[in-house]
Amino acid sequence: MEHYDARETRDPAQRESELCARLPALIAHAQTHAPACARLLAGVDAEAVSSREALARLPVTRKSELVELQRAARPFGGFAAVSWGRACPRVFASPGPLYEPEGARADYYRLARALFAAGFREGDLVHNTFSYHMTPAGSMMEGAAHALGCTVFPAGIGQTEQQLAAIVDLQPNAYIGTPSFLRILLDKAAEQGAALPFAKALVSGEAFPPSLRERFAAAGITARQAYATADIGLIAYETPAQDGLVLDEDVLLEIVRPGTGDPLPPGEVGEVVVTSFNPDYPLIRFGTGDLSAVLPGASSCGRSNQRIHGWLGRADQTTKVKGMFVHPGQIAEVAKRHPGLGRLRLVVDNPQQIDRMTLHCEFGGAVSAGFGEAIAASLRELTKLRGEVSFCAPGSLANDGKLIDDIRRYE
């Protein structure tokens, strides 16, 4: 089989229709069973949320906000629809700390789809080097491997010498973990005059540069990457076509302008916002804080879902200028107040060690008298700080999702 299931090759219009048709039940379930969602979605008619346009009118809950929300309503901030017991056999902690429930369903995080695309099959012996201590990555990957019928060696992180000894003894043919740890294992094996038996690998948790991909290929290891989070599970995954990351079949993804909930057109870099159809942890319009963009067309591997770039940075570009925090949302609000502007970028520098803000604005027409002053006034009103305004040609600012670029240097 080339594909995990028939859903991967559905007509895109059918997929979109089915995803949107699932939204009302998800909203109603979250309103009934997750107290935080009941509060955030108070007054929302669940039956009316049956399109992307309706979904985009709902608030975004950002990962950066969850720490305080969980402290106020332990343990999950009111977003979980399950409690201790059979419905929640495990609970994990991520840096923050953030706590995530793991439900009782097989392949709870839906990562089997990514493993299958990476060539994992029943009967493989998988060396899983993601952490099994407190954080969920080890369990996320193990559950997916078991769903495919693989056997897992739970190696976890560290103890490189012992891991290499186990690899030599057991001869696993597949690796799961970060790309950097696979490189460490390759280096350690080379020191000992040994070769790693891995033929395939699924890597995640870090950037995966072409240089490492080439290094692994030279060692006979075909490596693919997955984009997943502890909160959502699988978001997107790489296929043999290596032409971007294909979205999972059970998420609805939006790319929004950083600091807002406003969807961006395809191709524009913005924050990844995901709605997950997970009844145990129904996160609706969850802002991951990651930057990416939708790629045009479908993958050449036959999978018909949308594709995105890999990780392109972080959306939280908040900085402090003269003792005041400046947020991406404030810059986005300037654009809303002045229609006709294209991309905006606030550059913060410090000539003579004095903080300075310059708002670069793409604008294609003739600049009328007072237009720059009006934009500067909006910037001052929103940030409580004075800044200069500089106009530039449409398309001249980089399409990288940055609204704030802090280039200050300190002597």
- Residue 361's φ and ψ, nearest 5 degrees, are -125, 125
- From 207, 63, 182, 195, select the one nearest 130 (Cα to Cα): 182
Is 301 found in the same domain as 325? no
Give the per-residue pLDDT at 64.
84
Give the per-residue pLDDT at 320.
85
* DSSP states along 37-93: HHHHTTT--GGG--SHHHHTTSPPEEHHHHHHHHHHSTTTTT--S--SBTTB-EEEE
Q: How many CB atoms lie within 10 A of CB 240?
A: 14
Is 351 found in the same domain as 270? no
Each of the 411 residues of the chain gets a pLDDT tens digit; together they read 799 999 999 999 999 999 999 999 999 999 999 999 999 999 999 999 999 999 999 999 998 899 899 999 999 999 999 999 999 999 999 887 899 999 999 999 999 999 999 999 999 999 999 999 899 999 999 999 999 999 999 999 889 999 999 999 999 999 999 999 999 999 999 999 999 999 999 999 888 889 999 999 999 999 999 999 999 999 999 999 999 999 999 999 999 999 899 999 999 999 999 999 999 999 999 999 899 999 999 999 999 999 999 888 888 888 888 878 888 989 999 999 999 999 999 999 989 878 899 999 999 989 998 999 999 999 999 999 999 999 999 999 999 999 999 999 865
* DSSP states along 283-346: --SEEEEEEE-EESS--TTS--S-EE-S---BS---EEETTEEE-HHHHHHHHHHSTT---EEE
Question: How many domains, in total, are found in the chain?
Answer: 2
Give the per-residue pLDDT at 375.
97
Give the per-residue pLDDT at 237.
98
Is 396 found in the same domain as 306? no
Is 77 found in the same domain as 18? yes
Q: Which of 281, 314, 347 corresponds to the end of one domain? A: 314
Task: Tell me the three-class secondary structure of 81-135, residue by residue.
Answer: CCCCECCECEEEEECCCEEEEECCCCCCCCCHHHHHHCCCCCCCEEEECCCCCCC
Q: For residues 335 and 57, what is the distance between their CA atoms, to the nearest angstrom?
A: 19
Quote the radius of gyration of the chain (alpha carbons, Å): 23
Is 265 found in the same domain as 179? yes
Is 189 found in the same domain as 303? yes
Residue 411 in any domain: the answer is no
Is 386 found in the same domain as 309? no
Is 360 found in the same domain as 224? no
Residue 7 in any domain: the answer is no
Give the per-residue pLDDT at 362.
97
Bridge partners of residue 271, in order along the sequence: 256, 291
Q: Decide: 185 and 158 in contact? Cβ < 8 Å.
A: no
Is 239 found in the same domain as 127? yes
Q: CATH number of the domain that 92 lies in?
A: 3.40.50.12780
User: Strands (DSSP E) along 107-221, which ranges?
Assistant: 125-128, 151-154, 174-177, 200-203
- Residue 55's φ and ψ, nearest 5 degrees, are -60, -40
Residue 24 in any domain: the answer is yes
Bridge partners of residue 227, in order along the sequence: 236
Is 395 found in the same domain as 299? no
Q: Which of 287, 314, 341 corresponds to the end of one domain? A: 314
Residue 2 in any domain: the answer is no
Q: Decide: 31 and 38 in contact? Cβ < 8 Å.
A: yes
Residue 4 in any domain: the answer is no
Q: For residues 357 and 389, what is the distance between their CA atoms, to the nearest angstrom?
A: 9
* pLDDT tens track for 345-365: 999 998 987 889 999 999 998
Q: CATH number of the domain that 377 lies in?
A: 3.30.300.30
With DSSP H G I counted as helix, E B as strand and the rest as coil, what are the percentages for the chain, rounded to 5?
30, 25, 45
Residue 343 structural domain: 319-406
Give the per-residue pLDDT at 338.
96
Q: How many CB atoms lie within 10 A of CB 162?
A: 10
Which residues are CB-contacts of 112 (< 8 A; sequence separation ≥ 6)? 4, 144, 145, 147, 148
Is 347 found in the same domain as 295? no
Give the per-residue pLDDT at 411.
59
Q: Which of 264, 287, 314 corresponds to the end of one domain? A: 314
